[in-house]
Amino acid sequence: MKKSEQIEILSLWGHALGALIEANGSSQAGEESPLSILIRHAHAKNAWFTPDNILRSMKAHVKWLEKENLQKWMSKYERSSPIEKQKNIGIIMAGNIPAVGFHDLLSVLASGHKAIIKCSSDDEVLIPFYIEVLKNISAEMASRCSIQPRFTDIDAVIATGNNNSSRYFDYYFGKYPHIIRKNRNSIAIFSGEESENNFIHLGNDLFSYFGLGCRNVSKLYVPKNYNFNFFFEAIERYNELMNHNKYMNNYDYHRALYLLNDESFLTNNFLILREASSIATPVSILHYEYYENESSLQKTLNEQSESIQCIVGKNHLAFGSSQCPGIDDYADGVDTMAFLLSL
């Protein structure tokens, strides 16, 4: 299949997903659209997958599948004709946010290879649904997607997990060409000159998908003696998180733990702000660390570079944009398409 044909099919896939989202939004009270049934099913399987978060993720995928974005993305790679030999690419998908493995699937299909998919037990509904939608557009492209409980015949692997699971991935799949992703988190840098609007937008970086994504900000770097009152006032508008049982169970547990251990922390009753050097945090916890000056901060960031996915702040990503990646924003900075086309 030529690149132009692939782009056409992929853009039609985006149109079909977009139409389902639109139909879901316009359905009459008391009626359930096909997408609303899917969302209810996915949410029942995983309480973190709220309807708003599922739709947020789907809309991002529809954006990637716009023809102009696909053309710009795929034009970066020198390939006008089909690949010489189609390979079976094993994809081990994470389940931290809805359909988070879609970019890997899209990359495999765009490269012309076959996707052998191992869905996360936390996300067994959405990716199969995406593939069913694709079947109605191109049976040939959809036939290159296979969901399997285990891999038996693969040529390369793309696996996403945590630092612990990555060791198992290395052990089992190290002999194959591979991309193996470990834990990463994102940070924000405060200069002390942030506006209320900056903090309001930062709330999206903190709380979208309940902070479960690697692109969610989990740590702040702030100037010495920074006062967090203004920050807490601005993010108060996100207090609807208090209505989510799993989120608040995490909050209550860690608050009780810190109190029992006599650890100091700041809180607004739905977010705990705690001074700590580590970047990774549990749900409902945000770490912070003071810095002396820009040079000392840069040294710290260089030391932590393997743990950082994104940086939000002045001269970096805009506040509120960390969970709005483009189609060419690759996880861990590893170019998935270049890897696939090199096989």
Is 323 within the bounds of a domain? no
Question: Is there a single domain that holds both residue 197 and residue 274?
Answer: yes
Residue 283 and residue 97 in contact, taking contact as beta carbons nearer than 8 Å: no
Provide φ and ψ at 287, rounded to 5°: -90, 155
**Exposure class string for 79-92: b at 16+ Cβ within 10 A, else e:** eeeeeeeebbbbbb
Higher model confidence: residue 267 or residue 31?
267
pLDDT tens column, 258-310: 999 999 999 999 999 999 999 999 999 999 999 999 999 999 999 999 999 99
- Count of domains observed in the chain: 2
Provide the residue range defining the domain that includes 123.
3-182
pLDDT tens column, 12-26: 999 999 999 998 877
Task: Determine which helix (DSSP H) or strand (DSSP E) holds 192, and give its type and residue range.
Answer: none
Is 174 within the bounds of a domain? yes
DSSP labels, 231-266: HHHHGGGGGGGGG-HHHHHHHHHHHHHHHHTT---E
Confidence grade of residue 164 (pLDDT, cut at 50, 70, 90): confident
Question: Is there a single domain that holds both residue 129 and residue 211?
Answer: no
| Res 82 pLDDT > 60 | no
Is 330 within the bounds of a domain? no
CATH code of the domain containing 92: 3.40.605.10
Question: Is there a single domain that holds both residue 99 and residue 61?
Answer: yes
Alpha helices in the chain (DSSP H): 3-26, 34-45, 51-64, 67-74, 102-111, 126-135, 139-142, 163-173, 196-207, 229-234, 245-260, 294-303, 336-341
Is 199 within the bounds of a domain? yes
Q: For residue 22, how many other CB atoms are within 10 A of its CB?
A: 13
Is 338 within the bounds of a domain? no
Higher model confidence: residue 59 or residue 27?
59
Q: Residue holding tokens 């990637």? A: 64
Dist. CA 233–CA 328, nearest whole Å = 35
Question: Is there a single domain that holds both residue 270 and residue 163?
Answer: no
Is 157 within the bounds of a domain? yes
Q: What angle do CA 206, 125, 131 make, to 5 degrees?
A: 110
| Res 40 pLDDT > 60 | yes
Confidence grade of residue 73 (pLDDT, cut at 50, 70, 90): very high
pLDDT of residue 29: 60
Question: Is there a single domain that holds both residue 125 and residue 16?
Answer: yes
Question: Is there a single domain that holds both residue 236 and residue 162?
Answer: no
Longest dimension (CA), the chain: 64
Question: Is there a single domain that holds both residue 50 and residue 152?
Answer: yes
- What number of helices (H) and strands (E) belong to the chain? 13, 11
pLDDT of residue 292: 93
CATH code of the domain containing 306: 3.40.309
Task: Determine which helix (DSSP H) or strand (DSSP E) holds 160, and give its type and residue range.
Answer: strand 156-160
Question: Is there a single domain that holds both residue 85 and residue 202?
Answer: no
DSSP conformational letter for 226: -
Question: Is there a single domain that holds both residue 221 and residue 261?
Answer: yes
Question: Is there a single domain that holds both residue 139 and residue 245?
Answer: no
What global pTM score does this model have? 0.94
User: Both tokens of residue 146?
Assistant: 């296979």
Question: Is there a single domain that holds both residue 21 and residue 141?
Answer: yes
Higher model confidence: residue 275 or residue 31?
275
Can you state the percent helix, strand and coil of the chain, rounding each to 5?
Answer: 45, 15, 35
pLDDT of residue 217: 98
Residue 84 and residue 103 in contact, taking contact as beta carbons nearer than 8 Å: no
Question: Is there a single domain that holds both residue 191 and residue 139?
Answer: no
Which strands, in side-by-side order, build the sheet including 285-291? Answer: 266-267, 272-275, 285-291, 217-223, 185-189, 308-312
pLDDT tens column, 241-263: 999 999 999 999 999 999 999 99
